[in-house]
Copies of this chain bind each other. A is one copy, B any other.
Amino acid sequence: MSEQDERHPDDVQQHLREVQELLARHKVVEDLVHRQDMPRHELVENLVHKQHVAELQAKLDSLHPADIAYILEALPLEDRLFVWDLVKAERDGDILLEVSDAVRESLIETMDPHELKAAAETLDADELADLAPDLPPEVMLDVFQSLDSEEREQLRAAMSFPEESVGALMDFDMVTVREDVTLEVVLRYLRRFDELPDHTDKLFVIDREDHLKGILTLESLLINDPEMVVGEVMHKENVISFEPEDEADDAAQAFERYDLVSAPVIDAEKRVIGRLTVADVVDYIREESEHEILSHAGLREEEDIFASVWDSVKNRWAWLAINLVTAFIASRVIGAFEGSIEKLVALAALMPIVAGIGGNSGNQTVTMIVRAIAMGQVEQTAMQRLMRKEMGVAVVNGLVWGGLLGLLAWFLYGSASLGAVMTAAMTLNLLLAACAGVLIPMVRLRFGADPAMGGSVLITALTDSGGFFIFLGLATLFLL
């Protein structure tokens, strides 16, 4: 990190610390001024203060937009807005694209329509489409009017595709060539560019009507004799292309499977309309996995860690409400057996074990099935086989762990029949968990819903209420 001319993965944290230090020094001056009751405008005039701000600004100017985004996310709201004000206006657009949704909202709130329009105008059509949902409609309208007709068309196209589709991820930057020219001509053509679009690892070979004829990788362009013709060296077979309606998930898997850097997006007539790059795919994969992890814990979206208590409550309340309902139902199941518990209070102490282990085991099953479905490796026909296996696992676990707990219950409460009820209830609840764990995602899949959604909530609700019911029911039948 001592080398000035090199960037290192930890650098962004170093940058963050430097910015925090500059902010702290700035605050010391401000505090001093405040305590001496110096009027605000004198503070602004203050030389030391000016120097700190200039230093901070210089630091920010030297940073990559993604690094500034990272720093903004890591700063409390007040510092964040102070830094945001110091960022050069022409970089606003790029940075807004990089920050998380929650932080983006906090930044956009402080910008006036004029600033927002200026920021939006620095962006490409596909980037604009990403930002559009967060911009006030009047700003979007203004921006739209300032675009030329080709960009308008692109923006309209990019915004017309659902969020999880290839169309929403694609960009419109690409280099196309004809198949009847020599590589020498292509090389000369490329020299007229000031820069190539990001992630250009291949040129798209098209005919007069934009139909995709093949791809010319930069590799083939570089290793082949310049006298050769594009049509001779281009790849015609096994060209991986996407349609804008394809699911982003499938495209991400294809990028991963075939190690792609970029790929053409074509319409139904095989006309090239855009391009998908690995950068978009990586962002998508990261967002998806984050979304999955967050929704596992019942968080609606990534939280700005410096969000207000109120914003956090809003982000989390839905899950807690659902949980309250399921917990309440489970509680009523217990309520129905209050008579039994009164007679044998040991039941109250043992029942949460049956419910808890069932929930955990069910979650293991559902996680595994959902992953297999997501990979497209489970067909409805495999259901019977999976069900048999999961039942087998449930019986083994039920007998082993349930048996162990039965022995413990016997030892603690001196009742062999209580132990037997415990073992039976555990086994039955694990079987219930296994069935539900296979059936819930499979049924959701058959009805075309996302198999992952809410599986864990449903399982836990079932195994809680079911566990209480089975255990207390068996106890009432056999022990009282």
Chain A residues at the B interface, C-beta cutoff of 8 Å: 3, 5-10, 12-13, 16, 64, 66-67, 70, 73-74, 76, 98, 187, 190-191, 193-196, 198-201, 218-219, 221-225, 236-243, 246-247, 250-251, 253-259, 261, 270, 278-279, 281-283, 285-286, 289-290, 292-294, 296-299, 302-303, 305-310, 312-313, 316-317, 319-321, 323-324, 327-328, 330-332, 334-335, 338, 341-342, 345-353, 355-357, 360-361, 363-364, 366-368, 371-372, 375-378, 382, 385-386, 389-390, 392-393, 396-397, 401, 404-405, 408, 412, 464, 468
Contact A196 B219 (CB under 8 A): yes
Q: Which residues of B contact A10 (CB under 8 A)?
A: 246, 250
Contacts A293-B296, A319-B364: A305 and B372 contacting too (C-beta < 8 A)? yes
Contact A464 B352 (CB under 8 A): yes
Copies of this protein in the assembly total: 2
Contact A327 B348 (CB under 8 A): no
Q: Which residues of B contact A195 (CB under 8 A)?
A: 219, 223
Contacts A8-B242, A297-B367: A392 and B349 contacting too (C-beta < 8 A)? no
Q: Looking at the assembled complex, report how far the CB atom of A236 sits from the nearest CB atom of chain B, in whole angstroms.
A: 6
Nearest B residue (CB) for A10 = B250
Among B70, B190, B285, B404, the residue within 8 A (CB) of A285 is B285
27 pairs of residues in contact across A and B, judged by CB atoms under 8 Å: A3-B270, A5-B237, A5-B239, A6-B238, A6-B239, A7-B241, A9-B250, A12-B376, A193-B223, A195-B219, A195-B223, A281-B282, A285-B286, A297-B363, A298-B363, A299-B368, A305-B382, A313-B397, A323-B356, A324-B404, A327-B357, A328-B408, A330-B352, A331-B349, A335-B412, A341-B348, A348-B348
Q: Which residues of B contact A256 (CB under 8 A)?
A: 282-283, 286
Q: A285-B289, A324-B401 are in contact. List 5 more A-B contacts (CB 8 A).
A: A5-B238, A66-B258, A73-B375, A316-B397, A348-B351
Contact B200 A219 (CB under 8 A): yes
Contacts A328-B353, A338-B348, A345-B338: A309 and B396 contacting too (C-beta < 8 A)? yes
Q: Looking at the assembled complex, report how far the CB atom of A190 sits from the nearest CB atom of chain B, in whole angstroms.
A: 5
Contact B327 A385 (CB under 8 A): no
Residue among A241, A393, A397 with most chain B CB within 10 A: A393
Which secondary structure dominates chain A's binding surface?
Answer: helix
Contact A278 B298 (CB under 8 A): no
Contact B389 A13 (CB under 8 A): no
Nearest B residue (CB) for A321 = B401
Q: Looking at the assembled complex, report how far the CB atom of A168 sits from the nearest CB atom of chain B, in whole angstroms.
A: 15
Contacts A9-B254, A364-B297: A313 and B396 contacting too (C-beta < 8 A)? yes
Q: Which residues of B contact A286 (CB under 8 A)?
A: 256, 285, 289
Nearest B residue (CB) for A333 = B349
